């Protein structure tokens, strides 16, 4: 018999959602069967998959030990470096300035060196996170950016902070500002552009059109040219996303004729080779928290702005613009 005492980070979850995270080796079909047969009990009574857990509840599992094998394995994050590039931290969240080249979560390569693993290792080394003391929760990233994009990524350290931050992101109560370098100099120096995008999951790209696409989504982007390098035919743009679509900035700017320098998916490879740039010149540069209504444990963040370190492409092609951004 395995027993879980529900703590604050576990509370509020449905029984089935909790079990999927706490006992990942237990197949869903068996979980539902064991709940039905009362081999999984809540406070020594029968429960339903939709029952919400409260702090202090006791969940008892009368199931085979084989289903708990994964929990005894070495924690994957211990193979990652402890450097997490933290620019802000309190008891609820931390904000990292992810460098270009580092993936946020494990991808098909299966490497352990990811931003989230670095965060977990860092917190573990400081005694701020102990997976053996948690049933189902681990600090988690609230937003993500591409491997080759530099910039700010938010991580929630508690379940409550994760729920609130995800809701704020969903309701667009966080302003995100990006910097990028485009090939060419737009005639229109400041604009709000609109198009339609459709994601191709197989090829991991998006198709952009000025007309609605089947299964497509509206894409709205605001940009401002803040510096020009006419000698190199490059422009530095400040960009804000009104919608949040896959590869939105990269695909949208390429669609209007000004692809990002270094972009291998939507850019001009000939030009990228000329500049010897192998990653897109894009940075998630600034976050401003603009909460509306109750923000609970995150209230102290409301109205605050956080900025990433100056991107490499600003230093290289627009050194005089450092103070402007």
Catalytic residue positions, numbered: 146
Contact 206, 246 (CB under 8 A): yes
Alpha helix locations (H) across 126-266? 159-170, 248-255
User: In whole angstroms, what is the distance from residue 6 CA to residue 3 CA?
Assistant: 10
Contact 176, 221 (CB under 8 A): no
User: In whole angstroms, what is the distance from residue 284 CA to residue 177 CA?
Assistant: 6
Q: Per DSSP, what are the bridge partners of residue 224? A: 190, 238
Contact 102, 147 (CB under 8 A): yes
Q: Quick one: residue 184, left, alpha or beta (phi over 0 = left, psi -120 to 50 = alpha)?
A: left
What values do phi and psi take at 88, rounded to 5? Answer: -155, 145
Stretch (H or E) spanning 115: helix 115-125
**3-state class of 111 per DSSP?**
coil
User: In whole angstroms, what is the distance from residue 124 CA to residue 80 CA?
Assistant: 12
Would you state the torsion angle of the CA atoms of residues 266, 154, 322, 255, taken in this order, to the nearest 10 degrees?
A: 20
Contact 134, 9 (CB under 8 A): yes
C-beta neighbour count of 192 within 10 angstroms: 10
């Amino acid at each position: 018999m395995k027993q879980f005492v529900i703590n604050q980070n576990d509370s509020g979850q449905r029984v089935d959602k909790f079990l999927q995270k706490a006992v990942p080796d237990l197949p869903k079909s068996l979980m539902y069967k064991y709940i039905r047969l009362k081999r999984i009990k809540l406070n020594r009574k029968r429960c339903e998959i939709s029952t919400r857990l409260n702090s202090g509840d006791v969940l008892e599992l009368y199931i085979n030990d084989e289903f708990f094998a994964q929990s005894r394995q070495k924690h994957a994050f211990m193979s990652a470096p402890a450097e997490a590039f933290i620019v802000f931290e309190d008891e609820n969240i931390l904000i990292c300035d992810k460098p270009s080249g580092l993936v946020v979560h494990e991808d098909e390569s299966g490497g352990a060196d990811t931003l989230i693993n670095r965060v977990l290792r860092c917190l573990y080394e400081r005694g701020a996170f102990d997976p053996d003391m948690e049933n189902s929760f681990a600090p988690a990233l609230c937003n993500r950016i591409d491997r080759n994009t530099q910039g700010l990524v938010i991580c929630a350290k508690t379940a409550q902070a994760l729920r609130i931050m995800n809701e704020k992101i969903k309701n667009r109560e966080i302003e995100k500002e990006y910097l990028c370098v485009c090939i060419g100099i737009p005639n229109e120096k400041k604009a709000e552009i609109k198009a339609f995008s459709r994601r191709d999951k197989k090829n991991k790209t998006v198709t952009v059109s000025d007309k609605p696409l089947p299964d497509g989504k509206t894409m709205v982007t605001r940009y401002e040219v803040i510096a020009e390098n006419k000698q190199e035919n490059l422009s530095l743009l400040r960009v804000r996303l009104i919608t949040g679509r896959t590869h939105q900035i990269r695909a949208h700017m390429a669609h209007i004729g000004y692809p990002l320098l270094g972009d291998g998916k939507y850019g001009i490879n000939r030009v990228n080779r000329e500049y010897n740039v192998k990653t897109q010149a894009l940075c998630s540069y600034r976050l401003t928290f603009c909460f509306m209504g109750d923000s609970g444990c995150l209230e102290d963040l409301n109205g605050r702005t956080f900025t990433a370190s100056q991107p490499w492409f600003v230093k290289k092609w627009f050194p005089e613009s450092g103070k402007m951004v």
